[in-house]
Amino acid sequence: MPIAYKRIAKAKNDILTNEDGSHHIDMFGANGTVLLGHVNESVTSHLHSQLDQVWATGTIDTPIRGQARSLVDSFFPNSHGLLGFYSTGMEAAEFAIRLARVSTGRRGLIGFAKSMHGKSMATAFLAWDNPSIAELPGFHRLPYPSKEHETETFPKLETLLRTKEIAAVFLEPIQGSGGGYAVSPEFAQKLLGLCRETGTLLVVDEILTGFYRTGCEFAHRYLEIQPDIILIGKIMGNGFPVSGVVADRNLNIEPKMLPGSTYAGNALAAAAVIGTLSTLRSLNITELTKTIEDKIRSSIGSLACDQFILRGRGLLWIFEFKESAKAETFVSLAYARGVFIGHAGPLARLMPALTIKQENLDHAINIIVDILTKELD
């Protein structure tokens, strides 16, 4: 039976207040968006200041959009820059598809199974079966190149890329919705080398993992690669809808790429970006992330339990249970005891805020450990 979640009336930092006045410690972070906690004062202040100025201007630029663009660019090397803001990760991925196809003159695309690039027909079909469509010409989906699949996947990649019909390869450095599997630096470097050799663009999707979710600014930096295109979002607005496409500055935007949309780069989104990223820059993120990661690793990662496998790093952790029913029971028991955890099929996800209070983190972890060791048969 699906979990009967209560409606949330308010939220502040790491606490969700329900319509009936009850509370839950939020260990899911609104699908990983609120790294700075709910209703962060700095982000709220920037949004309030912008509310009385201007909201949306379509394709006409605004000073605050330029400020937000410059702040995003400061997180990347000079070789790369923000091509544009969008409202959702899916929209950013769709633009990346058009960008890659027009830039290379090719139609083919490669994605990896159980990744998440969005839920449109194209972005979904790159990663998982879409019941509304049986086939998209030129789309190829291969097993995700986690350690156990590297030797299986690379020859298939090489065969496809050497046809020189592939415009881009889409890669999640860590699968946020697919079990927490990660690609190795060695594989990523081989893939980038093959892409360079065959004129294929490498698109790394950092919509969930970017801006310190995994400890580092971006997860691809653990891989020691510099992709052609990086998709960003979620954390960038701390819950306010905004995403972006960052790319090698040698890739030019052309009108036939359809680069704009109605709400792309609106002034409120730009204010949220400035509030979020400027606040991130003011924090000791390495220390804060390490404290939370060490707590999760030492308390949960050390458990001798054959019910689940825990994967992740930083502030992104995925339980993969042997059975979907076990995952649902686990999340339901935690919710009944005041801890909210993300859930989908056999997976449960922990994505706490960087700003979670230590006592709330300790309490939530103690409940999780208690359930895993005593209540989950």
CA 354 remoteness from chain centre: 15
What is the pLDDT, as a whole number, of residue 24? 98
Q: How far apart are CA 204 and CA 219, in angstroms?
A: 9
Backbone angles phi, psi at 97, to 5 degrees: -60, -45
Q: What is the chain's length?
A: 377
- For position 347, what pLDDT does the model report? 96
Q: What is the reported pLDDT for 291?
A: 95
The three-point CA angle 321-327-330 to 5° equals 120
pLDDT score for 1 = 61
Q: What is the CA radius of gyration of the chain?
A: 21
Residue 24 has a CB neighbour count (10 Å cut-off) of 23
Q: Report the alpha-carbon distance of residue 103 to residue 84 in Å, rounded.
A: 16
Give the residue-averaged pLDDT of 168-192: 96
CA dihedral (75, 88, 32, 230) in degrees, to 10, reads -40
Domains of the chain are: 11-40+284-356+369-375 (3.90.1150.10), 41-282 (3.40.640.10)
Residue 127 structure tokens: 């990663």
pLDDT tens digits, 82-101: 999 999 999 999 999 999 99
**377 alpha-carbon distance from chain centroid:** 32
Is a pLDDT exceeding 70 seen at residue 321? yes
Average confidence score pLDDT of the chain: 95
Identify the band that residue 270 occupies on the pLDDT scale cut at 50, 70 and 90.
very high
Using the predicted structure, report yes or no on whether residue 377 has a pLDDT greater than 70.
Answer: no
Q: What percent of the chain has pLDDT over 70?
A: 99
> Is 40:275 a contact under the CB 8 Å cutoff?
yes
The predicted pLDDT at position 375 comes to 84
CA separation for the pair 178, 318 (Å, rounded): 9
* Mean local confidence (pLDDT), 109-128: 93
Q: Which two tokens stand for residue 354?
A: 């960087």
As a whole number, mean pLDDT of residues 231-254 equals: 96
Identify which of 110, 220, 85 has the alpha carbon closest to the alpha carbon of residue 166.
110
Greatest alpha-carbon span in the chain: 60
pLDDT at 132 over 80: no
Residue 230 φ/ψ, nearest 5 degrees: -125, 130
Q: Beta strands 243-248 and 229-232: pairing type? A: antiparallel
Instruction: Express each pLDDT in 133-172 by its tens digit.
Output: 778 899 999 999 999 899 999 999 999 999 999 999 999 9
pLDDT value at position 59? 86
For range 214-226, the mean pLDDT:
96
Predicted model pTM: 0.96
- Cα of 144 vs its chain's centroid, Å: 16
Torsion of Cα atoms, 225 then 231 then 235 then 239, to 10°: -170
Task: Decide: helix, strand or coil at residue 135.
Answer: coil
pLDDT given for residue 361 in this prediction: 98
Rounded to an integer, what distance in angstroms lies between the CA atom of residue 243 and that of residue 208?
A: 10
Query: Helices 358-370 and 285-296 meet at what angle, rounded to 10?
Result: 20
Is residue 15's pLDDT more than 90? Answer: yes
